[in-house]
């Protein structure tokens, strides 16, 4: 009777090994696909970087010809973007505070809009 239980254990181990082998093959295929995707993405990024450098050179040449200071234009754009991000962050902070109930009644009243669903 000991041989029967041993055969069952061996069969279970063989089944587990077969399942593991399948999973490893699937994982190998997934990794191969991922490597191909990463390679394709790298190629596209390199092409975009080259195109961006070309466009930057053209813009610099045009700006120089027109007497435009690119550094000041770029700095102004970054400042405006930072201000926009700051305002968006302030709005998000206010909304989060209102949801948490941590905003004061006065500031909550100033941001609320009246409901028009009752026909008024």
Contact 22, 30 (CB under 8 A): no
The residue ranking higher by pLDDT, 42 or 105, is 42
pLDDT tens-digit profile of 85-115?
888 877 767 666 666 655 444 444 444 444 4
Q: Looking at per-residue confidence, does 110 or 76 come out higher?
A: 76
- Give whole-number Cα distances, 90 to 50, 94, 100, in Å: 37, 6, 15
Smallest CA-to-CA distance from 90 within 42, 75, 98 is with: 98
Check: pTM over 0.85? Answer yes or no: no
């Amino acid at each position: 009777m000991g041989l029967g239980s041993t055969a069952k254990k061996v069969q279970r181990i063989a089944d587990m090994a077969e399942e593991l082998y399948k999973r490893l093959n699937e994982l190998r295929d997934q990794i191969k696909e991922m490597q191909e995707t990463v390679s394709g993405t790298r190629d596209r990024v390199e092409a975009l970087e080259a195109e961006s450098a070309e466009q930057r050179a053209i813009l610099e040449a045009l700006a120089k010809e027109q007497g435009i200071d690119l550094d000041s234009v770029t700095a102004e754009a970054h400042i405006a973007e930072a201000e926009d991000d700051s305002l968006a962050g302030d709005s998000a902070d206010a909304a989060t505070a209102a949801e948490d109930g941590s905003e004061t009644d006065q500031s909550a009243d100033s941001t609320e809009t009246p409901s028009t669903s009752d026909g008024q």
